[in-house]
Amino acid sequence: MSHNSFGHLFRVTTWGESHGPALGCVVDGCPPGLPISADMIQHWLDKRRPGGSRFVTQRQEPDQVEILSGVFEDERTDGLVTTGTPISLMIRNVDQRSKDYGEIRDKYRPGHADYVYDMKYGVRDYRGGGRSSARETAARVAAGAVARLVLPGMTIRGTMVQMGPHKIDRSRWDWAAVDENPFFCPDPVAAKEWEDYLDGIRKAGSSVGAVLEVVAEGVPAGLGSPIYAKLDQEIASALMSINAVKGVEIGEGFGAAELTGEENADEMRLGPNGHPVFLSNKAGGILGGISTGEPIVARFAIKPTSSILTLRQSVSATGEEVDLRTKGRHDPCVGIRAVPVGEAMIACVIADQFLRHRGQTGRPGPVDYPLHRG
Amino acid sequence: MSHNSFGHLFRVTTWGESHGPALGCVVDGCPPGLPISADMIQHWLDKRRPGGSRFVTQRQEPDQVEILSGVFEDERTDGLVTTGTPISLMIRNVDQRSKDYGEIRDKYRPGHADYVYDMKYGVRDYRGGGRSSARETAARVAAGAVARLVLPGMTIRGTMVQMGPHKIDRSRWDWAAVDENPFFCPDPVAAKEWEDYLDGIRKAGSSVGAVLEVVAEGVPAGLGSPIYAKLDQEIASALMSINAVKGVEIGEGFGAAELTGEENADEMRLGPNGHPVFLSNKAGGILGGISTGEPIVARFAIKPTSSILTLRQSVSATGEEVDLRTKGRHDPCVGIRAVPVGEAMIACVIADQFLRHRGQTGRPGPVDYPLHRG
Amino acid sequence: MSHNSFGHLFRVTTWGESHGPALGCVVDGCPPGLPISADMIQHWLDKRRPGGSRFVTQRQEPDQVEILSGVFEDERTDGLVTTGTPISLMIRNVDQRSKDYGEIRDKYRPGHADYVYDMKYGVRDYRGGGRSSARETAARVAAGAVARLVLPGMTIRGTMVQMGPHKIDRSRWDWAAVDENPFFCPDPVAAKEWEDYLDGIRKAGSSVGAVLEVVAEGVPAGLGSPIYAKLDQEIASALMSINAVKGVEIGEGFGAAELTGEENADEMRLGPNGHPVFLSNKAGGILGGISTGEPIVARFAIKPTSSILTLRQSVSATGEEVDLRTKGRHDPCVGIRAVPVGEAMIACVIADQFLRHRGQTGRPGPVDYPLHRG
Amino acid sequence: MSHNSFGHLFRVTTWGESHGPALGCVVDGCPPGLPISADMIQHWLDKRRPGGSRFVTQRQEPDQVEILSGVFEDERTDGLVTTGTPISLMIRNVDQRSKDYGEIRDKYRPGHADYVYDMKYGVRDYRGGGRSSARETAARVAAGAVARLVLPGMTIRGTMVQMGPHKIDRSRWDWAAVDENPFFCPDPVAAKEWEDYLDGIRKAGSSVGAVLEVVAEGVPAGLGSPIYAKLDQEIASALMSINAVKGVEIGEGFGAAELTGEENADEMRLGPNGHPVFLSNKAGGILGGISTGEPIVARFAIKPTSSILTLRQSVSATGEEVDLRTKGRHDPCVGIRAVPVGEAMIACVIADQFLRHRGQTGRPGPVDYPLHRG
């Protein structure tokens, strides 16, 4: 069962609510002998952390991760290594203004999970969205940082390729630009324009959606499985599990529906070293559920933040019609903070598939782990 | 693990290759006491079956399903009922022209899984795609027919809403039209136009993609789970597991990225009977991973059939550059036959979530099963 | 979920009832490239097959296995090899005398699952025990035969070490004797005595229990997991899942409770080749849930067959007190046929743990599979 | 996969090492609306806690549990209720004398998991057994306390029925005695004798094994599943997963092997209220893997503590023969502290099976949860 877990050989279980004492995850299945530190994990958490710019929620959370288990001192390096036992990671909640939420205790905010939680559970922690808060994604980013340890030599990078109706110009794609604007946008010209656009949205108390793209390079051919553990299937599952995601596509995605067979199928030739190469990557690095060796390209659509300052029609838990505006600290484009989350989810999926590949096939896979002894 | 299984409380395992003696599935977790018959299952298989029109593969497979276990005679009705034990369903392969495939034994067909299977397994059944053949989806349709038994009162219907670049006009949507054209198209005008269009594609030995839409009505609020068993996540996973699918979206999907918070979040009011109702369904029936009670709307993109008559560049398993055309019997738009498959997958996901809901929450759910005794 | 499946990377799902058309299993996760044939599987089924001697049920089932999927012709050897896709195995039921069972349709046989099935499901296939029939174990034996392919170099052998109150004399243990008596008994003297004893039981229409022991040799150190996938835990689970098993123990087992720490813990020294060796094997080859490299020794207790000719007190589904004797063809000591089943279950557990070990740790494990290509 | 998790609908994942900063568990799947408090959990932890008598390790651990997630204030009662989201429980380690363990850093203690961890992982946290320390069982007891909330009306009680070679006299069984001696022994006379016996063992620096028995009363008929999720199978799995357990039996257990069919199968009659009753309980409350409604009786054997003061032969990680005595604080009979652990594991198994039963069959089960709203 997988209510709060994902993955199989690399398995992540998350826990925690927005306004409880802490949140965290247990990463089960990380191979032994991998160098690890809280700093390595913190690096990725800082990328996702709120409070970074005026375009994300002003909640100030240091999001300091604590490693509670699964590591041990490596006497040769004086650093920590994984031991193969479960790695428990915890982040204390600090800046919880619970009083902001008393007002919406019994009122169902449109676009939020309030109503369906009551339908399902009959009880809910209404403070800051409780379990359905985007804060849960901090635990995903922490788990993704561990997954990256399992995948040396692979590069997994997320970007924003569309904000509201505004798409990037792909001819201007520049990986270096991604870290130089507040949107993880690979098109520096678009990023500049988006600043003004999002300022307008923000000042109007409104919000806007986005499309994100994650590219994983260095993934060897052969990961995934033909039927119900397809690599693209697990990526779709992982991305759709992120709050506010409404669509996922691989490679050409929905655009493939418009192509003919001649246009869509990637042809092959022998490369300089005599190995097969693909002449294009319409498939987004996956055929028949299995990686081809080409970069894996996944996009996902994030809906606009549901919390806005405009008065909206709703109902209450006690059966009355109400008009409601969602105050508090919020994101005009929650898609921004979803970029590192998307990266993390894909890192976790690939780590899991990589470990499964070795178990399934007896083939070693690309990574030789630096085991501590013998 | 889930290499060839999906679902948890309602769990389906499929097996079989295109040119082996048979294919089938084991449905584990169907509740006891439900009336069942081979005819009920055959009804849905016939909908998917090849050989129905000139627009689908001319392979003639009767696809007769055999129920091997999990059922027993109900003395009160003289019909069969489920017993709660695993239901094994088998379909014998009949029309296997294996000789068609000898030529591509060592040549990797562009867009197919040939190359990646060799990378992963080092061995593959090349006849008709082996395990990655679309024939595997017959087992899914059979399983979906059982899932429907678990969900009385729900209506799950699939349609084609785009063929190649040609979209339907939604103002002409007519459910009655769906069964009156060879494309499951709800727009009778578009369906007419598509006939000519696809004839052209077919005669050219080419192929084209499609976008399908499945709508599930009558799904009660409360199914799904907040984090890693989100109803939309499991739908995305199930649809992306179908051969040739490159994208999945729920409700507004990728369109939601272009909306503002005001435009996107569905407002609520009290309905005539005093129960909460949504004033729109941009969410596609799912919020926070849990069903809202509104119709569930999922779309998925199918790439064009990779098997085409045009000569394409490729390589061989023995390390040579080759030029290759895929002969044999094929579908100009494999999306047509994917419509009943998409329906079946969504039926399975909802059945699983429905059974889990009862286990998770102690809430009865919408269905009272007609138990045999006591 | 695991209602009818066990294992993870090597995963077996069984289906079928005693008096349905067939029974079988799907083996998912067998690595590719392993030589396989129906004969290899039939060999083990024949060992379990009823009708072999006067001490087992006179039901005459040929138990012919059919391989329906997951294999392909290896052009180099003209034999079949596994492909890495699910292996579906089917055995048709042939000799079904359903009329024998009409009488007990509504009467709960003491010691059988009749009553609890009705409590759980409200419906049951009463013919021959339906799903709870020992015939289900034929599917386990077939799966175990596949598991053995994954474990070349390991020897997994089952024996009967106690029949009713009569134990073997371990000083007379002779592996060669096991196949030379109808009880798989390693003590030829005891086996001779048991013949008379069981003849008496059989003629009285009574039945008797047994204790079986399975020994797995050649299992490398390192298989298993420390906490909830302990090798001994999974063995206990697998053996306890066999019909009629009431107890499981590893190594010294319950006898360990009577020992002191000095007596129980196996000491170590360096062996002739400088590798660590254990000076005893009280642990039965498993410490902390992980294999030590010593032979794995597991015992399990089988209760006496519940079907006996003596009149017994019971109740009926319709709420009456009844007196009942179970006619039909039955085993005076069902433990005999459980020997190959116990072997099969342990083979499956070790195969699963072996594949998991490779995925978990990056360590290759003892087996290099003969992959077809590259 | 289940390396550090067990259960399905009620699923527990544990983490933590003996000498890390903390240990804990995540309980996923607890139904919503159940009153809960840290005190309720602490009650059971205190029962297991070391430092209670001279017969258990002198390590002084307060074992204070902290609830980190999954609960919310119930406004009607001012207490906490579960919300249906994962319950994260943490216990800080306090009294860690790591220096005690430096000496055995490279030496494999006989009977411990030291050697096999190195074989499996190539690295291990040697301090106090690391992950394989009995401290992990504190997390199990905490999870078991949550499981009990799911099972109101059931009574699950553990006892010690044998210490070393000394068995209780069952005719003196007195539940009231269990809490009045340091051994959870139901025979007050035996308990008195055991004190002297264990004092001798303790003073000699030796250790001794034990047999424990857990009885679960009030479990309704119908829990469990026929084949690979048998209730007795899952109990065997859960108990065998506890450190130092070498055998598990249900009801008559290994004794059933010595019985005839007439002696073993429990007969039935109608009880005073017209419902079926069993005239004996040789089956230990389980037939065909499913509960009968009779008390569930499970026994398990604990080996003697491997850490003893006697000099023992072993080898080192660096390939030398060594003689070794295990100093530090230890238990002369680790079975004592395993009693609450056995109770907890059985509570978890029954909670899981109970929730699954509702999902599987549509039958409500014995418990109506007090849902917060609607």
Check residue B245 and give its pLDDT.
98
At a CB cut-off of 8 Å and minimum separation 6, what does A179 contact? none
C-alpha–C-alpha distance, residues D201 and D333, integer Å: 9
Tokens of B297: 């709307």
C268 pLDDT above the threshold of 70: yes
* Interaxial angle between packed helices B335-361 and B38-48, expressed in degrees from 0 to 180 and rounded to the nearest 10: 140
Print burial letters for C272-291: b (CB count within 10 Å at least 16), e (below 16): eeeebbbeebbbbbbbbbbb
What is the chain D residue with the closest CA to B226? D85
Q: Are A9 and A352 in contact (CB under 8 A)?
A: yes
* Contact criterion met (CB < 8 Å) for B88 and C15: yes
> Mean pLDDT across chain A, nearest whole number?
91
* Contact criterion met (CB < 8 Å) for C254 and D254: yes
Is there a binding annotation on residue B131? Answer: yes
How close does chain D come to A341, measured CA to CA in Å? 20
B194 pLDDT above the threshold of 80: yes
Please give, one letter per residue, the 3-state secondary structure of chain B.
Answer: CCCCEECCCCEEEEEECCCCCEEEEEEECCCCCCEECHHHHHHHHHHHCCCCCCCCCCCCCCCCEEECCCEEECCCCCCEEECCCCEEEEEECCCCCHHHHHHHCCECCCCCCHHHHHHHHCCCCCHHHHHHCCCHHHHHHHHHHHHHHHCCCCEEEEEEEEECCEECCHHHCCHHHHHHCCCCCCCHHHHHHHHHHHHHHHHCCCCECEEEEEEEECCCCCCECCCCCCHHHHHHHHHHCCCCEEEEEECCHHHHHHCEHHHHCCCEEECCCCCEEECCCCCCCEECCEECCCCEEEEEEECCCCCCCCCEEEEECCCCEEEECCCCCCCCCCHHHHHHHHHHHHHHHHHHHHHHHHHHHCCCCCCCCCCCCC
- Give the model's confidence band at D80: pLDDT under 50 very low, under 70 low, under 90 confident, else very high: very high
B126 pLDDT above the threshold of 60: yes
A258 three-class SS: helix
Q: Are B369 and B33 in contact (CB under 8 A)?
A: yes
* Contact criterion met (CB < 8 Å) for B363 and D371: yes
Residue C187 vs residue D48, higher pLDDT: C187
* Interaxial angle between packed helices C38-48 and C136-150, expressed in degrees from 0 to 180 and rounded to the nearest 10: 130
* Contact criterion met (CB < 8 Å) for B355 and D355: no
At a CB cut-off of 8 Å and minimum separation 6, what does C255 contact? D301
* Contact criterion met (CB < 8 Å) for B68 and C371: no
Check residue A95 and give its pLDDT.
72
What is the chain A residue with the closest CA to C82? A361
* Contact criterion met (CB < 8 Å) for A358 and C363: no
- Pairing relationship of beta strands A312-315 and A321-324 according to DSSP bridges: antiparallel
The residue of A281, A303, A327 whose CB has the most chain B CBs within 10 angstroms, and thus the best one to mutate to test that interface, is: A303
- Give the model's confidence band at B372: pLDDT under 50 very low, under 70 low, under 90 confident, else very high: very low
Question: Does C65 contact chain B (CB < 8 Å)?
Answer: no
At a CB cut-off of 8 Å and minimum separation 6, what does D114 contact? D104, D107, D108, D124, D126
CB-CB neighbors (< 8 A) of A3 in chain D: 11, 28-29, 86
Shortest CA distance to C108 belongs to which of C315, C297, C318, C340?
A: C315
C-alpha–C-alpha distance, residues A2 and A134, integer Å: 19
* Element spanning A197, H or E: helix A188-203
pLDDT digits (tens, 9 = 90+) for B216-260: 999 999 999 989 999 999 999 999 999 999 999 999 999 999 999
* Element spanning C38, H or E: helix C38-48
C-alpha–C-alpha distance, residues B102 and C73, integer Å: 13
Is there a binding annotation on residue B132? Answer: yes
Q: Are D31 and D354 in contact (CB under 8 A)?
A: no
Counting DSSP H helices and E strands in chain A, the numbers are 7, 19
Q: At CA D369, angle to CA D363 and CA D371, rounded to 5?
A: 125
Q: Left if phi > 0, otherwise alpha if psi is -120 to 50, otherwise beta: which for B257?
A: alpha
**Helices marked H in chain D:** 38-48, 114-121, 136-150, 188-203, 231-240, 261-264, 335-361
B354 pLDDT above the threshold of 50: yes
At a CB cut-off of 8 Å and minimum separation 6, what does A229 contact? A289, A353, A356, B1, B2, B3
Question: Does B236 contact chain A (CB < 8 Å)?
Answer: yes
How close does chain D come to C79, measured CA to CA in Å? 33
Phi, psi of D325 (to 5 degrees): -130, 140
A105 pLDDT above the threshold of 90: no
C-alpha–C-alpha distance, residues C186 and C181, integer Å: 9
How close does chain A come to B301, measured CA to CA in Å? 5
Is there a binding annotation on residue D366? Answer: no
CB atoms under 10 Å from CB of B320, counted, come to: 11
- Domains of chain C in start order, with CATH, are 5-361 (3.60.150.10)
B1 pLDDT above the threshold of 80: no
The sign one gets for the Cα dihedral C7, D212, C247, D283 is negative
Q: Are A84 and D121 in contact (CB under 8 A)?
A: yes
User: How many Å from the N-terminal Cα to the C-terminal Cα in chain A?
Assistant: 36
Alpha carbon D236 to chain centroid, angstroms: 11
Is there a binding annotation on residue B48? Answer: yes
What is the chain C residue with the closest CA to D287? C113
Tokens of A170: 């792909």
User: How many Å from the N-terminal Cα to the C-terminal Cα in chain D?
Assistant: 36
Residues pairing with D322 in the sheet: D314
* Contact criterion met (CB < 8 Å) for B123 and C373: yes
C-alpha–C-alpha distance, residues C265 and D304, integer Å: 8
Residues pairing with C324 in the sheet: C312
C-alpha–C-alpha distance, residues A292 and A284, integer Å: 9
The residue of C126, C233, C311, C334 whose CB has the most chain D CBs within 10 angstroms, and thus the best one to mutate to test that interface, is: C233
pLDDT digits (tens, 9 = 90+) for C92-146: 998 766 566 677 788 999 999 999 999 999 888 988 889 999 999 999 999 999 9
Is there a binding annotation on residue C124? Answer: no
- Give the model's confidence band at A371: pLDDT under 50 very low, under 70 low, under 90 confident, else very high: very low
Alpha carbon A126 to chain centroid, angstroms: 24
Mean pLDDT, rounded, for A326-346: 90
* Contact criterion met (CB < 8 Å) for B301 and A260: no
Torsion from C-alpha of D301, D307, D313, D318, nearest 10 degrees = 110
Measure CB to CB from residue A248 to each of B248, B264, B357 and give the nearest one: B248
Residue A196 vs residue D361, higher pLDDT: A196
Torsion from C-alpha of D59, D94, D121, D318, nearest 10 degrees = -60
C327 pLDDT above the threshold of 50: yes
How close does chain B come to A49, measured CA to CA in Å? 20
* Contact criterion met (CB < 8 Å) for B70 and C122: no
Question: Does C123 contact chain D (CB < 8 Å)?
Answer: no
A27 three-class SS: strand
Residues in binding site of A for FMN? 131-133, 243-244, 288, 303-307, 329
Q: Which of residues 185-214 of A touch D (CB under 8 A)?
A: none
* Contact criterion met (CB < 8 Å) for B241 and A230: yes
Least confident span in C47-61, D201-215, D326-340: C47-61
- State if pTM tops 0.80: yes
Alpha carbon D71 to chain centroid, angstroms: 24
Q: Are C221 and C78 in contact (CB under 8 A)?
A: no
Tokens of C286: 């498993």
- Alpha carbon separation from C198 to A328, C208, D10, D18 (Å, rounded): 80, 8, 45, 52
What is the chain D residue with the closest CA to C247? D249
At a CB cut-off of 8 Å and minimum separation 6, what does D286 contact? D224, D230, D231, D232, D250, D251, D292, D296
Measure CB to CB from residue A121 to each of D24, D83, D125 and give the nearest one: D83
C-alpha–C-alpha distance, residues B13 and C90, integer Å: 15
Is there a binding annotation on residue C306? Answer: yes
What is the chain C residue with the closest CA to B125? C72
B329 pLDDT above the threshold of 90: no
* Contact criterion met (CB < 8 Å) for A257 and B303: yes
Is there a binding annotation on residue C105? Answer: no
Q: Are C194 and C163 in contact (CB under 8 A)?
A: yes
The residue of C10, C12, C68, C132 whose CB has the most chain B CBs within 10 angstroms, and thus the best one to mutate to test that interface, is: C68
Is there a binding annotation on residue D13? Answer: no
Measure CB to CB from residue A20 to each of D15, D69, D74 and give the nearest one: D69
Question: Does A120 contact chain B (CB < 8 Å)?
Answer: yes
* Contact criterion met (CB < 8 Å) for D373 and A123: yes
- Binding partners of A (≥3 Cβ pairs within 8 A): B, C, D
pLDDT digits (tens, 9 = 90+) for A20-61: 999 999 999 999 999 999 999 999 999 887 656 778 776 677
Q: Are C330 and C211 in contact (CB under 8 A)?
A: no
Measure CB to CB from residue C84 to each of A358, A361, A367 and give the nearest one: A361
At a CB cut-off of 8 Å and minimum separation 6, what does B273 contact? none
Q: Which of residues 20-49 of B touch C (CB under 8 A)?
A: 20-24, 26, 28-29, 32-33
Q: Are C289 and C232 in contact (CB under 8 A)?
A: yes
Q: Which of residues 84-103 of D touch B (CB under 8 A)?
A: 84-85
Is there a binding annotation on residue D244? Answer: yes
Tokens of C368: 């290099």
pLDDT digits (tens, 9 = 90+) for B88-109: 999 999 876 656 667 778 899 9
Q: Are D34 and D84 in contact (CB under 8 A)?
A: no
Q: Are D214 and D343 in contact (CB under 8 A)?
A: yes
C288 three-class SS: coil
A247 three-class SS: strand
Residue B49 vs residue A138, higher pLDDT: A138
* Element spanning C146, H or E: helix C136-150
Q: Are D56 and D36 in contact (CB under 8 A)?
A: no
- Give the model's confidence band at D363: pLDDT under 50 very low, under 70 low, under 90 confident, else very high: low
C-alpha–C-alpha distance, residues D54 and D58, integer Å: 7
How close does chain C come to B112, measured CA to CA in Å? 17
Q: Are D348 and D10 in contact (CB under 8 A)?
A: yes
C370 pLDDT above the threshold of 50: no
* Contact criterion met (CB < 8 Å) for A246 and B113: no
Residue C213 DSSP label: E
* Contact criterion met (CB < 8 Å) for A268 and B314: yes
D372 pLDDT above the threshold of 70: no
Residue B209 vs residue B275, higher pLDDT: B209
Is there a binding annotation on residue B244? Answer: yes
Print burial letters for B48-73: b (CB count within 10 Å at least 16), e (below 16): bbbeeeebbbebebebebebbbbbbe
What is the chain B residue with the closest CA to D30? B360
